[in-house]
Structure formats: C-alpha cells, structure tokens
C-alpha cells in the first residue's frame, strides 16, 4: 500500500482484517507515524464497539508493516497506490514500482478517482498488469469497489482483481471504463460542484442546502458535508481532471472551491471546510 492518508489507511485496515499481510509505505518517518496512528485509532474504535475481538485486533496489527522505504515493496504480489491525486506524483511512483517489483506477475493498481489508468500502465513497463481499483471512504465500511481496466490491462489481471475484491475482501465490485470519474464520480462530482455553486451564489446556507438533500431526497449526508468528508482538494482535482477530458462546464470547479483550497480549507482533514471540525 502506498499512501497512509484517510483512504490508504482504510484500505490497509480492510486488507489486514481480511488476513492479508500488508506493507504500508509513506513519504517520511513523520507520515509513517501518522498513518500508523490512523490505522490504530480505527481499530481501537472497532474494538471499543465490540466489532473486533482483542485477538483479531492483535493479529490485524501484526499483519501490517509501516515504512518510508519504497524498496520494501519489492516482493509484493499486489501494490495499491493511494498517493496524492496529482498525475506527476502517480506517474513517478508507477515508473519506480515497475523497476522495483521482482515478481513478474505482480499487479499494480491505483485508487485514483480520475487520472487515466492507461498513462500509469505505460510508464510502469508492465501495462498489462496495471489497472484501477477505486475504494470508497470509509473503506472499512463501504462495500463498493470500482474496477477499472485500461486499454492495455489483460483479462487475467481483471479477473485476478475481481477475485481479490470479492473473495479476498468480501466487497462488491462494479466495472468501469478508463474515463475520468469512472461511474460514481461522474455522477457525484457534478452534483457536489452544483451545490457549491448554489452556496456561492447565496441561494441558502450550507446547513440548509445539506438539510434539504438529507430530508428532501433521503440522502444520508448533504453535498457540502460530503465534500468536506472527501476533501475539497480531492473534489477540485477530480473536477479539473474530468473537465480536462470532457470540456463540460458542469465539471469545472467554481471559484469559491478554488479559493477554499488555496486557503487550506480542505474539509474535515484540515479542521475546516464548509463546516468547522474540532
């Protein structure tokens, strides 16, 4: 696993609880400690709520190795990347991973929300064994996983990943084509951006917009609160990637979102977005 943020740490937990040995790589010793704290905190909550026994808690942690050394992934059969949603970072990682992995049959997968999988495969040197595997936040709870083969992904790679998701993790996959946004974000992100434009234009308060969608449409969470949970920088990055590919105005991030990201108001992970977080 590359990346121990909210998504990465959740994916690590899902795999370790399913009995899979995991090595989590972060960019620095400080980031390694933060990732370990996220995983431990989540397991602590599961233990406290009676959803995890002490024995399973201990064995789950024993299956996880934390490091800042990418070379530690050399013997892995599957590498899932959940680094920052920046194309240059992901391309560099896939280029390096293609040289590091010693197993010729090892699969490289990206948890990207919008970056073309075919580009990642092209730089890896193993394009037939690269595809997208898009988990949803929070990964330990959400059952859906999008599987995204590119033009160069082999049928065998897709079937191996389908088995990993269903039999290995007990989750439910859907298959999407390698287009920015895939299935869920192609529907979700324009909705989120529309809500931000509505708030920016002064139609209603953030709380009332969210309350309207929760009580009026039966959504479990309003669009602005959901944007905060996803991360406003991530919502913006997905919108930009989708706009670059399709040139549809509904995918273009509104000015307010640009300014909030520039100001460091990224949502729940930064402590403030459309709402404050303690």
Please pick, among 13, 26, 81, 146, the residue that the annotation labels catalytic.
146
Q: Do 176 and 182 touch, CB atoms closer than 8 A?
A: yes
Q: Do 204 and 212 touch, CB atoms closer than 8 A?
A: yes
Does residue 153 have an active-site annotation? no
Please pick, among 15, 111, 150, 185, the residue that the annotation labels catalytic.
185
User: How far is Cα 202 from Cα 231, in angstroms, rounded to an integer?
Assistant: 22
Does residue 146 have an active-site annotation? yes
User: How far is Cα 210 from Cα 216, in angstroms, rounded to an integer?
Assistant: 10
Q: Do 252 and 258 touch, CB atoms closer than 8 A?
A: no
Please pick, among 110, 111, 113, 124, the residue that the annotation labels catalytic.
113
3-state helix, strand, coil in the chain (%, to 5): 55, 15, 35
Q: Do 24 and 38 touch, CB atoms closer than 8 A?
A: no
- CA 192 from centre of chain: 17
Helix 255-262 to helix 232-246 angle (10° resolution) is 130
Q: Do 81 and 90 touch, CB atoms closer than 8 A?
A: yes
Please pick, among 134, 150, 227, 241, the residue that the annotation labels catalytic.
134
**Element housing 133 (H / E):** strand 130-135
Between β-strands 107-110 and 64-67, what pairing exists: parallel, antiparallel or unpaired? unpaired
Does residue 113 have an active-site annotation? yes
Does residue 219 have an active-site annotation? no
Residues carrying an active site annotation: 113, 134, 146, 185
């Amino acid at each position: 696993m590359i990346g121990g943020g909210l998504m990465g740490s959740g994916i690590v937990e899902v795999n370790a609880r399913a009995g899979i040995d995991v090595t989590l790589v972060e960019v620095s010793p400080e980031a390694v400690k933060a990732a370990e704290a996220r995983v431990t905190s989540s397991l602590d909550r599961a233990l406290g709520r009676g959803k995890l026994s002490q024995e399973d808690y201990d064995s789950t942690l024993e299956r996880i190795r934390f490091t800042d050394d990418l070379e530690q992934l050399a013997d892995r059969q599957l590498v899932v990347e959940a680094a920052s949603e920046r194309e240059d970072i992901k391309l560099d990682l896939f280029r390096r991973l293609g040289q590091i992995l010693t197993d010729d049959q090892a699969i490289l997968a990206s948890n990207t929300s919008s970056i073309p999988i075919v580009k990642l495969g092209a730089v890896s040197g193993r394009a037939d064994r690269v595809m997208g595997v898009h988990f949803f936040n929070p990964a330990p709870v959400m059952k859906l996983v999008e599987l995204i083969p590119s033009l160069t992904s082999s049928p065998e790679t897709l079937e191996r990943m389908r088995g990993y998701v269903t039999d290995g993790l007990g989750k439910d996959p859907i298959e999407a084509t390698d287009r920015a946004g895939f299935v869920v974000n192609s529907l979700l992100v324009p909705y989120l951006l529309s809500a931000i434009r509505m708030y920016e234009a002064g139609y209603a308060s953030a709380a009332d917009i969210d309350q309207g969608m929760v009580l009026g449409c039966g959504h479990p969470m309003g669009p602005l609160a959901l944007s905060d949970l996803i991360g406003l920088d991530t919502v913006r990055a997905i919108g930009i990637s989708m706009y670059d590919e399709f040139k549809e105005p509904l995918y273009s991030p509104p000015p307010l979102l640009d300014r909030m990201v520039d100001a460091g108001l990224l949502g729940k992970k930064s402590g403030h977005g459309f709402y404050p977080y303690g």
